[in-house]
Every structure is written in C-alpha cells, then in structure tokens.
Structure 1
Amino acid sequence: MTGKIQMTVPLVELDGDEMTRVLWQMVKTELLEPFLELKTEYYDLGLPRREQTGDAITSEAAHAIRRHGVGVKCATITPNAQRMEEYGLSRMWRSPNGTIRAILDGTVFRQPILTKVIRPYIPHWTKPITIARHSYGDIYRDTEYRVSGPGKAELLFTGQNGETFRETIHNFEGPGILQGCFNKDDSIEHFAAACFEYALATRQDLWFSAKDTIMKQYDGRFKEVFQDLYDSTYRAAFAQAGITYFYTLIDDAVARILRSQGGMVWALKNYDGDVMSDLVSTAFGSLAMMTSVLVSADGCYEFEAAHGTITQHYYRHRKGEKTSSNPVATIFAWSGALRQRGKLDGNAPLIRFADALEQATLETIESGTMTADLAHLSTRPAHSVDSETFLRAIRTALTDKLQ
C-alpha cells in the first residue's frame, strides 16, 4: 500500500458515550487514520454535549445525514433517573436513536456477524437471522404522564375535516401512569416496502409478526399494510425468487424462530425489534457481534453499534484498568459506512478498504486472538486479550491485506 486512501465526500460522524466512546477513538487511531484520509462531519452526541445544547445537537446530526447520505454512530446513553443524577442533567433527554430515526424515518436491519469459531447458544442456528426493525414512532416518540390522583383519562382526536373521536382510556381511582403512542400509514408503508425489497435482494423468506389479536387497530394496521403490499406488488416476485412471506403472532414467531435453522428476515415493530435483535445477537454469541444499519425511505444510511455503552467497563477504565471490551460492532459500523460512502461516490479503493477491514477482523478472531466475551464461546483454543491488543492484532492483519 502506497499513500492513504482518499475520500471526496465526508461521512457524518456521531460520537457517543462511556466505553464505546473510548473504543470509537481507538478504532479511528488504530484502524482508520493510518490508512485513510478520513473525512467526516463531526457531531458529539455524548450526554454532556446533549445537555449543553438542549439536545439540539442530535437533530442537527440527523439532518446532516440527510444532506450527506451516510452517517456512522457510536452508542449513546438514553438517561433514566439514575443517569440524570449522575450526569447532573436538567431533564431526562429522549433516546438519541429515537430522535434520529424519527427524522430519517426508515427501517433498521440488524444481522449477526458470524465467524467459523464462535459457537451459537442455539446450535441449530446455522444461518443468520436478519431483524428488520421499524424505526419510527411507538414508545420512542410517546407521550407519558404521571397520574397524581383520581381522574379520567381519555383518547381524543380532532380531525381538520371536523371528524372527532373520544373514548375513555381509564377512570383512575388513585395514582398511576399514562402513555400515548402513534404511527403513520406512510411510515408503515415505507417499512413494509423496505422489508420486501431486502428479502428479495437476499433471497430469504420474510416473516412479519405483531399482536393484532390484542392491538386490533394499531398492530392490525401494520398487518394490513404488509398483506396489501405483498398482494399488489410482491407476490409474483417472491414466487419467482422461490421465497415466501407470511404473518404470524409474535409469540408464535418466537417459538418458530427458536426451532428454526435461521436464514430469514424477521420484520418487527419498533420496540419488538429492539428486544428481539438483542435476543438474536446474544444467542449467536455476543451483543457486540451484530451489524445495524438504518435505511431511510429516501436512501440515507446510518450505521451504528447496536449495543449499549458498556458502562461497567467504563468505570474500570476510569480507574486505569485495561478492559476486554469487544469493538467488533463499532468496527463494522465504520466499515459499513465507508463501503456505502464508496458506493455512492464511485470510490473503489474505499470499498476495498472496508472489505479488507472486515476480513482482517474476522481472521484475527478465527486465529484465536479475541476479547473475553468471545473466548469462552470459541470452538478452538483462544487467547483472551484487552481491547487495545485486539485492535493492534487487527491492524497487523489489515496492513498485510493492504500491502
């Protein structure tokens, strides 16, 4: 390799919190900056910066992704009461992911990163399971209220055409809690279309599951949109590709998935997809071994590490201890974003670099050098190392590939 690979258009870089923020910088220093003239438009989504800007920085970052077409995001804290006190926050800011996804309005595709040496907890899962998660609305854009005492809660809609709907939710006899959620037909339609297109592109069966027996209007609408779009647009194409689509209740889908060999796209509403993607990634080995990309209806991409901020490792890191935090999801977020940037810009060297980075990472694991979360799952002799040593080993393998 002679000289650094050039970039013509920047990625939108969204920095994050705690140990993943530390890993983020390590990955850039060890694996990106020595080989690339890395070009990014930087946004600090760390919790202190969100507090300073009244969370305006999060919306600014999302709109930057709309301008440039590709973003890459580190894991961030969504504060609860304990975090509010720990960080001295003025309020419990919304989920940054929820804000970004509301602005981009798309579908999150999550797929496990498979290696030859990591044994899944469910041994008959021999094919990857792709989670397709709707990324708009639901509890991530909800309205909540702490009911202080007796009173009546109502659901009220007033249409511009004079239509009205009013129904009692509950007559409270004492304190309680209240929540309101929403979604939009056009967002559900975008979600369904993205799922059908992805299934066709990868030639995998598509499953969609919800709970329309309980949420007859809300989940029922999702079911209707999927079925109508399949019947009107995709049925013949699916038959030609030799794949199928079907709907089932989510509790039935969970049982079917656990009995399966994998190899399907599993479409889920926002919260369901959040939970089940963690289940799938953990069952395949580790939360840190999963890719995650948000694809908006107008073709924007946001790649991220889908796990949390590894808080306990961060507390140890602050004490000066070395940790064996797994950076693979962060590496693959960067490689996915760089590859997409290369595709959009016609930058073949950048695409080749992204491919080489992923291959070097997997080969390092398969050679027996890995972080502690993977070492106890390895089917071959493994050497558990700290994060810095792991990244340096990947850099050695990457350098060899790029020579």
Structure 2
Amino acid sequence: MSSKIKVEKPLVILHGDEMAQIAFEQILEQFVKSRLDIDLVEIDLTAENRLVTNGRAVREAIDALKAHGVGVKNAGMTVNRAQLDELLSKHPDIQESDLDKLATKSPNGAIRKGIGGNITREDIEFRNLKSVRPEWQGRDIEVDTMDSGGLDFSYSELSNATGVAKIVFVGSSGDPQELHRRTLKKGDPWMLATNSLEEVQAWAHRFFQRALKEKRDIYLGLKDTVVPGYDGVMRAAIEEIYESDYAEAVAAAGLQYHYELIDAQAARIISNPPERALWGVPDNVSGMKLYKLVQQLKRYGLPERKAHVSISRMSAGGGDQYGSFNAPAIEDGIIKVLVDGQEKHARFVKASDPILFMSNDRDAIKDWVKQVFRDASLSKKEVYFGLKREFVDYDEVYSSIILEIRKELAALDTPPPSFMIMRPSRQLSKMICDPPRWGLYPAQNLDGDIFSDISAALGGSLATASSVIKSKDGTMLYEAPHGTAHDLFLRYLETDGKEANFNSSALIFAVGNALEELGSRENNEALIDYACRLKTALIETVAQGTITGDLKGKTADPSSETLVDMCGFLDAVESNL
C-alpha cells in the first residue's frame, strides 16, 4: 500500500528557464512527486518552447489553469534581441515575421489577462531575517526625469458608451491609416500618451552632460521589454546618444553607466544605494515618485522595518501599459483616437515619436477592488490605495469604484476595512518609510511592479517574498516573484552542475500554498497538513540559520549562520518536515 498522500484534483505546473528551473525540478521531485499521489499537468513555458510552438504553449497554460483552477508557475526568460537571434539560429525553419507575439514576449501578462487575475505579493514571514536597512543619509544620489511628454501630458477619458476605439494616423498622404482597435465598454477608462523624440534626445544630452560635470555614475531605467514601442524607442535614442557622444568621456572620467529595467533597478538602488550617482528615469510619472522617495531617504534615512508588507497589483482587465498599443510614429502627422467613429482627441506627432494607447476594464477594476477589500478583511489589514485622481480621469474611475464598493458593502451590513486614498508617490513613501503593522497597498500595474520589487529587496530578497495571481472565478496561480537567475545558471553550466547556488524559498512556499489550496478545495486534511508542514519546515530551516549565500549576514544572528548551496538547503528543509 502506497504511503503517498492521495490527491484527487490535478495541479498545473508551468515550467520556466535557467537556474530557477533547475531548482523547480528538484523541488517537484523532492516535495511533490515522491510524497504525493497527484496528477501534474505540466506545460513547458521555456523561452525556446514558446518560440517553437509559436506561443501555443502560453495558450495551453491559460486553458489548463481555467480547467483545473490551481497552478504553480516558475520564472521564465523574456528574451532580448541577442537571445532571440540565438534561438532563431537554432531553428532556421522559423521565420521571425511569422511569429505570434506570444512566441517572443513575456508570457506573464498574457496569462494574467487570460485568467483575469490580479497579483498579491507579500513577505514570507521568516522569524529571524532582518530587513535590509541601507545607509541613505549622506548618499549623493539625484533623480533626473523629463518635465514634458509622457503620462503627465496625456489625454484620458471614460468611455460614455460601449463601442470600438480606433487609433488612426494621418500622414503626408492625407489618408487615415488605422493602427489599432479595441472594444471599450461604457465606463472603461482609456488614455493616449505621446512623447517628443527630439525632447527625449535633448533630455539625454542634458542628463549625460550633468553626470560628467558633477562626476556621477550614471543609471538609466525604463520598461522597454513591456512597452518596446514607447520605452524601447526612448531607450534606443538615449543609448545611441550615449555611445556616439559620451561613452568615451564617461570611461575617461572613471565613471560607470548602468541600464536596467526600472523595477529591478529601483529595487537595487533603494536597497543598495551607490555613494554618488545620477539616476535617469525619463518616464516622468515613475520618475517623480522615485525622486520624492529618494529625497525623503536622503534627508531622514530608512527606518527599521518591523512590519511585513502586502501589495495588490491590478493586472487584470486592459493591463494599462502592459496591454497597451505602443509604437513609434512612422512619419510626421496627426494621431487620433476615434470611438465609434467620433473623434475624441487628436495631436501632432513627428516621425519616430513614441505613441502609447492604453485602457482598462471597469468591471475588472471593480472585481479587483472587491478582492482587495475581501483580502484585507480576512487578514485584518488597513488598505492604502495610490491614485492620481485629481489630475487624471483614468485614475478617477478607480476612486469612484472604491466608493461604490464601500456603499455596496455598507448596504449589506458588511463594513469594509479601513482604507485611505493617497497619491502614488505618498503611497510608495508610506510603504517604504512608514509601514503600519498590517498594511495592504493596492497599486496599478506598473506601480505595483516597481513597488513590489523595492519592497521585496528591502525585505531580504525576491526569494523571500510570496506571490499569487487570483482571478474572479477562483483560479489561483502561485509563483515566485524572482527571475531565472541567469548569472547563477551560467556558473552552474561552467562547473558542470557542481556549483548550484540558488535560494529556493519562494518556490517552495509557492508549492506549499498551491497544495494547501488544493487540499481546501477537496477537503483533504492530510494534504492540508502536509502543505502547512512544508511551509513551516522552510521557515524553521532559515530560523536555524541554514541559508543560501544571498541571505548571508541578514539573519538576526550572523555568527550562527550555516551557508549551503541549493541542494543543501532543500535537504535541510526536508529534514525539518
């Protein structure tokens, strides 16, 4: 007779890439397959398989999650140009022009949209990990952002009827050319933003000249993987100027230049600030939030963090920037927004100016707000929304829905949790500098991406945070918020697997949460008990001082730490089961 715990419902497993996948396979073998009699619906979401299947693997993942309801997702690569070229060279029969966008882009947004899910991230409650408290006072860091263009100078409306929105361009021919269309429902917010490439280039010159004059290392952050036709256009223009006009001077001055995705870069700089730097964030909305945070940190320092932070990220619906149409203008002309044939807005753009059109779904926003209030009530947390409602119609709909849900709950004699609505810059400042013991921070998609990475970095690392995507229909996708650990994977390959360094905490916790959810759905007490013991064993292992190298010196008693590699850590967790 098998000693394995019988599980009736299947678990969806979405495989990923690089070092995270090496760890994931070992976790599944050590803590799932060897201990449970369970059907795993496994889908290969590696970058190569997404390419080879022309994105079909992503659609299969969405279908499997909808069919079975609970899954675990591992981190996967979003390929850059060089990596894509390498994959295409391995598969010469594949023509890039024939590829679906799901074949080469990150699958994350498509999966969230496909299941209608929003992300909640929070710290794993390790007992003996100290929060990162870098020394900010005295650091000479300046944030430089554009004072023109972008979302600060956008046009937004709420759709006054259900219909089709079209983005139309009129160039030198005088004939309208449709660039994009999407369906909007009554009450859905939409926004058109553009930037002047000439102003981006002028800003780039001022930015690099300032860095040289003030002798500062240079940091540049954008989200070019998500909005390649907008942030990607700006990055290309800025880096072309850097390479042609400033790279040699920067090197001669002994300075360094760093480019990174803005979410990862924000986490790195806030948790490990350089001594002296100029931080360029061309997007003025993100730039001003980070400018205000840096000014506060420089003046007052970073207080000791005694509370765990939870962030709810609005990622369903239209996805904001993550589901946007974004592209450079093909020539000088006029860009227009038409809704059911009626012109709503028009503006002049020049050739190569980046254009972004985004929208969201009012019903999805309402579902998200309900989810936020429900989660906060269950966890007895206070809620701190971040919205720029007094300036942007796009944000005002969120505020209206929050008050609408509040009235609905009051009518049902179900009081909502305590909540506040503040500007996003104040929300970020409160989360980092003044977090209450039980705080939940709901944020729009891009803000949530940046804020959650900063919070996780200050909590220890992305490997010490948990993440779940929840949908209205009950679909739950648990994941680790970290990436694929490319550098560690290269070292793993160079040493033929002898050096396997990776913190598996977040993946173990995700598996434990998924198994606990499965157990609850089928009233399987043995499975619930095992899932809880697995998570407890993880927390107990770290409490005993057994840690991977990324947490060195971050426990309450560094002198009692025992450093182990990935396999040693997994074995230690297993011994505590």
Look up the equivalent residue of 2:393 and give its one-letter code. Answer: Q
Which residue number in structure 1 is paired with residue 446 of structure 2? 271
| 2:345 maps to 1:167 | yes
Superimposed CA distance per residue, residues 324-376 of structure 1 (whole angstroms, 9 cap, x where no aligned partner): 21111111111111111111111111111110111111111111111111122
Look up the equivalent residue of 2:41 and give its one-letter code. Answer: E
| 2:334 maps to 1:156 | no
Which residue number in structure 2 is paired with residue 401 of structure 1? none
Which residue number in structure 2 is paired with residue 94 of structure 1? 105
Q: TM-score, normalised by structure 1?
A: 0.92
| DSSP-derived class of the 1:108 partner | strand
| DSSP-derived class of the 2:492 partner | helix
- Alignment counterpart, residue 512 of structure 2, candidates 326, 329, 335: 335
Deviation at 1:2, TM superposition (A): 7.5
Superimposed CA distance per residue, residues 233-273 of structure 1 (whole angstroms, 9 cap, x where no aligned partner): 2596447xxx4111111001122222234421111111111
- Alignment counterpart, residue 361 of structure 1, candidates 530, 533, 538: 538
What is the 5 A alignment of 1:18-37?
A: 18-37=18-37
Moved more, 121-130 or 86-95: 86-95
Deviation at 1:147, TM superposition (A): 2.2
- Alignment counterpart, residue 281 of structure 1, candidates 456, 460, 485: 456
| 2:498 maps to 1:318 | no
Classify 1:80/1:178 alpha carbon distance in 2 versus 1 (closer, same or farther; 3 Å).
Answer: farther
| DSSP-derived class of the 1:155 partner | strand
Aligned residues: 389
| 2:46 maps to 1:46 | yes
Which residue number in structure 1 is paired with residue 407 of structure 2? 231
Whole-angstrom distance in 1 between the partners of 2:414 and 2:439: 17
Deviation at 1:284, TM superposition (A): 1.0
| DSSP-derived class of the 1:181 partner | strand
Whole-angstrom distance in 2 between the partners of 1:234 and 1:186: 20
| 2:324 maps to 1:142 | yes
Superimposed CA distance per residue, residues 151-176 of structure 1 (whole angstroms, 9 cap, x where no aligned partner): 22222222xxxx724311x4223322
Tell me the percent identity.
Answer: 27
Whole-angstrom distance in 2 between the partners of 1:324 and 1:313: 6
Which residue number in structure 2 is paired with residue 250 of structure 1? 424
Moved more, 376-385 or 335-344: 376-385
Which residue number in structure 2 is paired with residue 66 of structure 1? 66
Look up the equivalent residue of 1:294 and give its one-letter code. Answer: I
Native 8 Å contact 2:409 2:415 kept in 1: no
Q: TM-score, normalised by structure 2?
A: 0.65
Whole-angstrom distance in 2 between the partners of 1:185 and 1:97: 21
| DSSP-derived class of the 2:421 partner | strand
Whole-angstrom distance in 1 between the partners of 2:354 and 2:83: 21
Which residue number in structure 1 is paired with residue 372 of structure 2? 195
Look up the equivalent residue of 1:217 and give its one-letter code. Answer: D
Whole-angstrom distance in 1 between the partners of 2:31 and 2:565: 16
Which residue number in structure 1 is paired with residue 575 of structure 2? 396
| 2:301 maps to 1:126 | no
Native 8 Å contact 2:389 2:395 kept in 1: yes
Whole-angstrom distance in 2 between the partners of 1:43 and 1:264: 35
Look up the equivalent residue of 1:250 and give its one-letter code. Answer: P
Which residue number in structure 1 is paired with residue 278 of structure 2? none
Whole-angstrom distance in 1 between the partners of 2:458 and 2:468: 20
Superimposed CA distance per residue, residues 74-106 of structure 1 (whole angstroms, 9 cap, x where no aligned partner): 011223324323433836623211011111112
Whole-angstrom distance in 1 between the partners of 2:78 and 2:459: 26
Deviation at 1:227, TM superposition (A): 1.9
Whole-angstrom distance in 2 between the partners of 1:301 and 1:260: 27
| 2:17 maps to 1:17 | yes
Superimposed CA distance per residue, residues 138-196 of structure 1 (whole angstroms, 9 cap, x where no aligned partner): 122111212233222222222xxxx724311x422332221211111110010000001
- Root mean square deviation, CA, Å: 1.9
| DSSP-derived class of the 2:334 partner | strand
Moved more, 331-340 or 315-324: 315-324
Deviation at 1:202, TM superposition (A): 0.8
Classify 1:165/1:185 alpha carbon distance in 2 versus 1 (closer, same or farther; 3 Å).
Answer: farther
Native 8 Å contact 2:9 2:38 kept in 1: no
Native 8 Å contact 1:70 1:341 kept in 2: yes
Deviation at 1:70, TM superposition (A): 0.6
Whole-angstrom distance in 2 between the partners of 1:28 and 1:386: 18
Native 8 Å contact 1:281 1:290 kept in 2: yes
Native 8 Å contact 2:541 2:573 kept in 1: yes
Native 8 Å contact 1:14 1:71 kept in 2: yes
Structure with higher Rg: it is: 2
Classify 1:78/1:210 alpha carbon distance in 2 versus 1 (closer, same or farther; 3 Å).
Answer: farther
- Alignment counterpart, residue 394 of structure 2, candidates 205, 215, 218: 218
| 2:349 maps to 1:349 | no
Structure 1 portions without partners, runs of 5+: 399-403
Structure 2 portions without partners, runs of 5+: 89-93, 134-302
Look up the equivalent residue of 2:328 and give its one-letter code. Answer: R
